[in-house]
Amino acid sequence: MLNRIIQSSTIVTLLLAAVTLASDGAFAFTLIGAGKAVKGWAGNALELHVNPDNCPGEVDDLMDKAIAIWNEVPTLGILLKRGDDTRTTIDQALAGAASITPTVHCVTSMAAVGLNPAVIPGVATGQQVDSQGHLNYGVLILNAEEGAAANVKTLNEELVVDVIAHEIGHILGLGHSSDTSALMYYDASKRKKASLAQDDVDGITYLYPRDELNGDNPFGGCAVIKGQRGRAAIDATLLALPAFLYLMTRFFQQRRRVRKA
Ligand SMILES: [Zn+2]
């Protein structure tokens, strides 16, 4: 049953037309975007705003747990937060009229938003990009339809957190992964608990690489890397170091030889 629920949800998500990043098998993750990869959200923080209407009473807790899963990635260059609640309705959000975004909604009629209430517990949709290709809009929908088999209120907490975290992955710009252990794999029944696989970490870090050096030049006085910043500067120094040591060794060897002579 669960298998069917998640499998069917992938049909909707596939409308996002995922594009495979690498064909050599090194990565299994994909990015959303109609034929071309999108960039992640701009900035180093993103708040998701919940409209609590019709949601499970513990929706804040569920959201926080799902958000924490992504925030645990040490290389992630964006901090996810649960922002203030929103009054934006699902209709407004789907019409692209939400003033703050992304928003999270619990809907009581999945058919009204074009989704099958029996098989789809959650979906991410409505993603838009700005002129730079950065994501700047998204809508996360949770199934709260009474009597529906995929109503999140009837599913166990671990699965709902998994569903929300998976959909947040789509909101952030990830498509589905072919790695069956990944959170972004379409079938949640392959996972024992809501957690990230290395492939999810690779995918989200690709979209949101962390600038460990915060833009500062770590070797400010070194002429070799003057003007360079961040990672490139470290690489330049690491590349230059062996050559420097070699030249120093040669220099002292020659001095010793001169003294002996
Ligand atoms: Zn999905």
Q: How far is the CA of 10 from the centre of ligand 1 (A)?
A: 5
pLDDT value at residue 187: 83
Give the whole-angstrom CA distance, residue 68 versus residue 72. Answer: 6
3-class SS of residue 217: coil
Tell me, yes or no, whether 14 and 82 share the same domain: yes
pLDDT value at residue 244: 58
Tell me, yes or no, whether 74 and 113 share the same domain: yes
Q: How far is the CA of 37 from the centre of ligand 1 (A)?
A: 16
- Indicate whether 87 belongs to any domain: yes
Tell me, yes or no, whether 166 and 247 share the same domain: no
Tell me, yes or no, whether 236 and 135 share the same domain: no
pLDDT value at residue 38: 82
Q: How far is the CA of 92 from the centre of ligand 1 (A)?
A: 23
Tell me, yes or no, whether 9 and 135 share the same domain: yes
Domain count, the chain: 2
Q: Within 10 A of 84 (CB to CB), how many other CB atoms are there?
A: 8
pLDDT value at residue 243: 59
Tell me, yes or no, whether 251 and 155 share the same domain: no
Tell me, yes or no, whether 129 and 104 share the same domain: yes
CATH of the domain at 22: 3.40.390.10
Instruction: Return averaged pLDDT per consecutive 10 residues of the chain, 261 residues in all.
Output: 45 38 64 79 97 98 98 96 98 97 97 92 94 95 96 95 96 95 86 88 94 58 44 48 63 61 49
- Indicate whether 108 belongs to any domain: yes
pLDDT in tens, 156-207: 999 999 999 999 999 999 999 999 999 999 887 777 788 999 999 999 999 9
Burial of residue 120 (CB within 10 Å: 0-12, 13-18, 19+) is: buried
CB–CB of 66/194 below 8 Å? Answer: yes
pLDDT value at residue 246: 65
Q: How far is the CA of 175 from the centre of ligand 1 (A)?
A: 7
> What is the extent of the structural domain holding 111?
2-207
Q: Could you tell me where the beta strands, DSSP code E, fall in 122-163?
A: 122-129, 135-143
- According to DSSP, residue 174 is labeled B
Give the whole-angstrom CA distance, residue 245 versus residue 241. Answer: 6
Tokens standing for 179? 């790695």
Q: How far is the CA of 13 from the centre of ligand 1 (A)?
A: 5
Q: How far is the CA of 169 from the centre of ligand 1 (A)?
A: 8
pLDDT value at residue 211: 79
CB–CB of 140/130 below 8 Å? Answer: no
